[in-house]
Structure 1
Amino acid sequence: MSAICVYCASGPVDQDYLDLAAATGTAIADAGLTLVTGGGNVSMMGAVVRAAREAGGRTIGIIPEHLMKKEVADLDSTELIVTDTMRERKRLMEEMADGFITLPGGIGTFEELFETWTGGYLGEHRKPIVLLNHGGFYDPLLVWLDDLRSRGFVAQAALDKLEVCDTVGDSIAYLTNG
């Protein structure tokens, strides 16, 4: 394990979530891992990269050109990769990471989580995926997924590919120790 991709909110959120993102960035750097993100410098995405760098970590940001133009890019990234499309961005994020942590977020975060999780379930990769359920943020999703499982729409084997953790420390421990 050398690089962790973090999926999280890039829109306005409460300080609690910004603190969670910062704690995640610090923990990744403290573990000697590289942080891979969507290359933004705002909200939780900005908090996670700033904290990782402040803790001496290496950051790789991957951002599509159209977001560069909106001036939300993390220009201080150790390495900033600019792509033509969002699809290329997500492909590179998945390729460059050895594992994934999904923090609270919105539809973009959900889309990244589900695409990566589905790829793992279908055997496209064997990388561990953590859903960090901070303060029960993902409880409604987990209830819904369990209902889908009981109805036969989601296989237990798919659910087994997603590790649900309640803390940053548990998330990093799972990713680094299995």
Structure 2
Amino acid sequence: MKIATTFGASRVEDPKLYEEGVELGKFLAERGYVIKCGGYGGLMEAVSRGVREAGGEVIGITLKYFDEIRPENPYLTKKIQTPDLFERLKNLIVGSEVFIAQAGSIGTLNEIFMVWALKYGLGLDFRICLLGEAYEEFKTCSFIPKERLSEIEIYKNLEEFKRNF
């Protein structure tokens, strides 16, 4: 089973960004990937919706605390509830061969950097794909060593990602 984990914002104001999430989900499902995501709204929901529209499976890795204050997205085929953020992140990571991040905030950055640290620190072999112009700033960020940039793939948009995937 091929598994891809997607990261992204829990709230999306821009309908175009939401539709890109749906398109990403369809694209991955059509290539045989089972998707893991955080299981809630925003881009997590958009990707899940796209996966389901393409007939694929989505595993939502939720957090007990969040389950009490926000609904899970309705497109999940399976839900794994975790007791804390560490277990949630572990469940999002284990078994995945590719990690794809769209626009997000602190939580998305945490997920990206954890996966990147595992790839670098343990020499694990998986892809990290970052979609969106905001990630271009990683290339000039002073706290990211230039030699580490070869471990990630930065795409300006979804179309560029799809051409190179």
Whether TM-score is above 0.5 comes out as yes
Aligned-residue offset at 1:49: 0.4
Q: Once superposed, what is the RMSD of the aligned Cα atoms?
A: 1.9
The corresponding residue for 2:49 is 50
Q: Which stretches in structure 1 are left out of the alignment for 5+ residues? A: none
1:9-158 superposed matches below 5 A = 9-40=9-40, 42-74=41-73, 76-123=75-122, 125-133=124-132, 136-139=133-136, 141-145=137-141, 148=142, 153-158=143-148
> Which has the higher mean CA deviation after the structures are superposed, 69-78 or 22-31?
69-78
Q: Separation in 2 of the partners of 1:45 and 1:89?
A: 14
The amino acid of 2:48's aligned partner reads: V
For the residue of structure 1 that corresponds to 2:71, the secondary structure is coil
Q: Separation in 1 of the partners of 2:140 and 2:113?
A: 14
Count how many residue pairs are aligned between Structure 1 and Structure 2: 165
Structure 1 residues 9 and 144: alpha-carbon distance in aligned structure 2, compared to 1, 3 A threshold: same
Q: Separation in 1 of the partners of 2:9 and 2:102?
A: 8
Matched-pair contact (CA < 8 Å) for 1:130–1:162:
yes
Q: Separation in 2 of the partners of 1:174 and 1:126?
A: 18
For the residue of structure 1 that corresponds to 2:26, the secondary structure is helix
Structure 1 residues 76 and 163: alpha-carbon distance in aligned structure 2, compared to 1, 3 A threshold: closer
Of 140, 155, 168, the match for 2:158: 168
Q: Separation in 2 of the partners of 1:44 and 1:20?
A: 9
Aligned-residue offset at 1:143: 4.7
Matched-pair contact (CA < 8 Å) for 1:8–1:44:
yes
Q: Give 4+ residue runs of structure 1 displaced > 6 Å after superposition.
A: none
Q: Separation in 2 of the partners of 1:87 and 1:174?
A: 32
Q: Separation in 2 of the partners of 1:168 and 1:57?
A: 19
Q: Separation in 2 of the partners of 1:7 and 1:126?
A: 19
Aligned-residue offset at 1:71: 3.4
Q: Separation in 1 of the partners of 2:139 and 2:148?
A: 15
